[in-house]
Structure 1
Amino acid sequence: MKKVSVHIVTYNSDAFIVDCIESVMKQSYPIDRIIVVDNGSRDQTRQKLQEYREVVTTIYNQDNVGFAAGHNQAIHMAESDYYLVLNPDVILHPDYVYHLVQTMEADSGLGCATGKLVFKQSPDIIDSTGLSFTKSRRAFDRGAGQTADLCENKGYVIGVSGAAALYKKKMVQDVSIEGCFFDEDFFAYKEDVDVAWRSYLFGWKAFYCPQALAYHDRGWKKGARRQMPIRIRRFSYINRYKMIIKNDHWIYLLRHLLPIVAYEIPGFIYFLIKEPKVLGAWWDFLLKFGSLLRKRREIQGKRRISFREVYKFFE
Structure 2
Amino acid sequence: MSEPSVAVVILNWNGKQLLADFLPSVIKSRYSNLQLIVGDNASTDGSVDFVRANFPTVQIIENDRNYGFAEGYNRILHRVSADYYVLLNSDVEVPENWIEPVIKAMEADVNIAAAQPKIKWQKDKALFEYAGAAGGFLDINSFPFCRGRIFDVIEADLGQYNNAKEIFWASGAAFFIKRAQWEETGGLDPDLFAHMEEIDLCWRLKNRGYHIIYCPDAEVYHVGGGTLDSNNPYKVFLNFRNNLIIMQKNLPANEAVWRIFIRMSIDFVAWIQFLLKGKTKFAWAINKAHYQFLANIKRTTAKRDTPHLVYSKHTGVYHSSVVWSFFIKGTKYFSQLKDSL
Same fold (TM over 0.5): yes
Q: How many Å apart are 1:311 and its aligned residue? A: 7.0
Partner of 1:184: 190
Matches within 5 A, 1:273-312: 274=280, 275-278=282-285, 279-296=287-304, 299-301=305-307, 303=308, 305-310=309-314
SS of residue paired to 1:59: strand
Q: In the alignment, residue 196 of structure 1 is paired with which amino acid? A: C
Match of residue 247, structure 2, among 240, 244, 256: 244
Give distance in 2, aligned partners of 1:237 and 1:287.
Answer: 14
Q: Tell me how large the CA RMSD over aligned residues is.
A: 2.6
Instruction: Work out the CA distance in 1 between the residues paired with 2:235 and 2:135.
Output: 22
SS in 2 for 1:115: strand
| Structure 1: distance between partners of 2:257 and 2:235 | 30
Tell me, yes or no, if the aligned pair for 1:4 and 1:84 is still in contact at 8 Å.
yes
- Residue of structure 2 in register with 1:167 after alignment: 177
Q: Residues 228-267 of structure 1: matches in 2 within 5 Å? A: 228=232, 230-252=233-255, 260=263, 263-267=266-270
5+ residue gaps, structure 1: none
Relative to structure 1, the CA distance from residue 111 to residue 29 in structure 2 (aligned partners, 3 Å threshold; closer, same or farther) is same
Q: Distance in 2 between matches of 1:257 and 1:182?
A: 22
Structure 2 CA distance for aligned equivalents of residues 138 and 308 of structure 1: 13
- 1:260-281 Cα deviation digits (max 9, x unpaired): 4662331232456622441223
Amino acid of the residue matched to residue 166 of structure 1?
A: F
Aligned residue for 1:225, secondary structure, equals coil
Would the alpha carbon gap of residues 26 and 220 (structure 1) be closer, same or farther in structure 2, given more than 3 Å must change? closer
**Secondary structure in 1 aligned to 2:142?**
coil
1:66 equivalent to 2:71? Answer no
Select which of 144, 165, 174 maps to 1:155: 165
Residue 198, structure 1, aligned to residue 204, structure 2 = yes
Provide the C-alpha distance between the structure 2 equivalents of 1:103 and 1:259, rounded to a whole number of angstroms.
37
Q: 1:260 to 1:235 in 2, by over 3 A?
A: closer
In structure 1, the residue matched to 2:100 is: 98
> Bigger shift: 134-143 or 159-168?
134-143
The CA distance in 1 between the partners of 2:112 and 2:315, in whole Å, is 19
- Take 1:20 and 1:221, find their aligned partners in 2: how far apart are those partners? 15
Residues 246-289 of structure 1: per-residue CA shift (max 9 Å, x gap) = 01135445786897466233123245662244122345434533
Residues 34-53 of structure 1, C-alpha deviations (whole Å, 9 max, x = no match): 22222233334233222256
Structure 1 stretch 116-125 or stretch 278-287: which is displaced more?
Answer: 278-287
One-letter amino acid of the counterpart of residue 106, structure 1: A
Cα 1:260/1:154, change in 2 over 3 Å: same
Query: Quick one: which of 119, 136, 144 aligns to 1:139?
Result: 144
Rate the CA distance shift 1:219–1:310 in 2: closer, same or farther, 3 A: same
What amino acid is aligned across from residue 142 of structure 1 in structure 2?
A: R
- Mapped to 1, the partners of 2:51 and 2:295 lie a distance apart of 37
- How much identity, in percent, do the aligned residues show? 25
Q: 1:258 to 1:69 in 2, by over 3 A?
A: closer
My pick for the range that moved more, 276-285 or 150-159, is: 276-285
Q: CA deviation at 1:18?
A: 2.9
- Structure 2 gap ranges (5+): 320-341
Contact 2:252 2:310 (C-alpha < 8 Å) held by counterparts: no
Distance in structure 2 (CA, Å) of the matches to 1:134 and 1:95: 33
Measure how far apart 1:182 and its partner are.
0.1
What's the TM-score once normalised by structure 2's chain length?
A: 0.80
Separation (CA, whole Å) in 2 of partners of 1:57 and 1:276: 43
Q: Tell me the CA shift for residue 236 of structure 1.
A: 2.2
